[in-house]
A = this chain, B = another copy of it.
Amino acid sequence: MEFRIDPWSHVMIKEYEKLFQYFGIRPFAEVVDEFKTVAVPHPLMVRGVIFGHRDFNNVVNALKSGERFAIVTGLMPSGKMHFGHKMLIDQIIYYQRLGAEIFLIVADIEAYSVRRIGRKEAVDIALNDYVANYIALGLTKSNLHLYFQSNYSPKYYRLIQMISRKLSLAELRAAYGEDLEVGKVMSVITQIADILHPQIKDFGGFRDVLVPVGPDQDPHLRLTRDVAQRFEGELGLKPPASTYHRFMSGLDGGKMSSSRPESYISLDDDPLTASQKLMRAFTGGRATAEEQRRLGGEPEKCVVYEFYAYHFIPDDAELSKVYQECRTGKVLCGECKLRACEMLVKFLTEHRAKHEKAIDKVYEYVDVPDF
């Protein structure tokens, strides 16, 4: 029996086979060794959570030669920030510490135009539920451009306008579905500008840009890469690089989704409620204790194991031990969950205190739109 700390990575490759086969995403594993020559990889990179990439080699080369590169990511100000979101911002903070310039976009216009959230509500959610949490998690002001889509600089809007000439409604329908509407069109070309604008002269100029995303965002990345190339001879824009991470599973074994509170633990859940949720979570346990002692558990199907691997156990040896104790049937789910709850309670309690402090600092991080 092989002990793995990334029990799902082979499953992932299978699940996302099409992305590799038809769309040219490459396995992340093939760039990890080279990356290790310039930086200590983030745990998610070596645990098979970040499983694919496009052009990550460019980022490795930029790091090697000491060139500036940029990371772009966004937040949707709707619903609570949960551990699925945390996984992404953890990557961002990691790159910030590596020296990357961070462009962090509050997608308030997408919230307004597509999700039809009020503007004021979107701003409140963004500041309290996201930005304050990011600061609490360790995001600093260094090399950071954190902005609202509705409140940025004219050259950003000019790029949005220019992008409108570079694509067709038919392409947008192919990528985003037949029920395309004007708000969605606006939102898509805005997102493309979010990714491409760090290469515009006023925002830093021609360089490598990396966008860490979930695989559901790949159609958008592909379109953005195409658009970058359509500016050839007009603007110097490199197609953005990207990495793809596995999503966290929902507590109930379904998808983790902001729209189903039973599927996630949010960063501001009170520790008791959160623990109760985790105790009820879907695991890789067997039908009976006897069977589990005999066959061992299945970490690759276990939400609790994800919490360990994605969030609570940075040390590989320690994670490996947890894996083995499960796989060999030595530790059963009850005991394992209690241990996870202990970590969860500790994390949430400490995080709450940090969030409290961070909430006053949000205005130092982002220029907030007025009304």
Contacts and interface: CB of A to CB of B under 8 A. Distances in A.
The quantity of this chain's copies bound in the complex is 2
A154 interface: yes
A182 B154 contact: no
A165 B369 contact: no
Contacts of A119: 162
Contact of A152 (B149, B150, B154): B154
B182 A164 contact: yes
- Which of A112, A162, A182, A186 has the most chain B CB within a 10 Å cutoff? A182
Interface in A228-272: none
Contacts of A168: 181-182
A158 B162 CA distance: 16
Given A182-B172, A185-B182, A113 B151 contact: no
A186 B169 contact: no
B186 A164 contact: yes
Given A112-B162, A113-B164, A162-B112, A169 B157 contact: no
B169 A158 contact: no
Contacts of A186: 160-161, 164, 189
Nearest to A114: B165
Interface of A: 109, 112-113, 116, 119, 149-154, 157-158, 160-162, 164-165, 167-169, 172, 180-183, 185-187, 189-190, 369
Given A119-B162, A151-B154, A161-B190, 8 more contacts: A109-B161, A112-B161, A150-B154, A151-B158, A160-B186, A164-B183, A167-B182, A169-B180
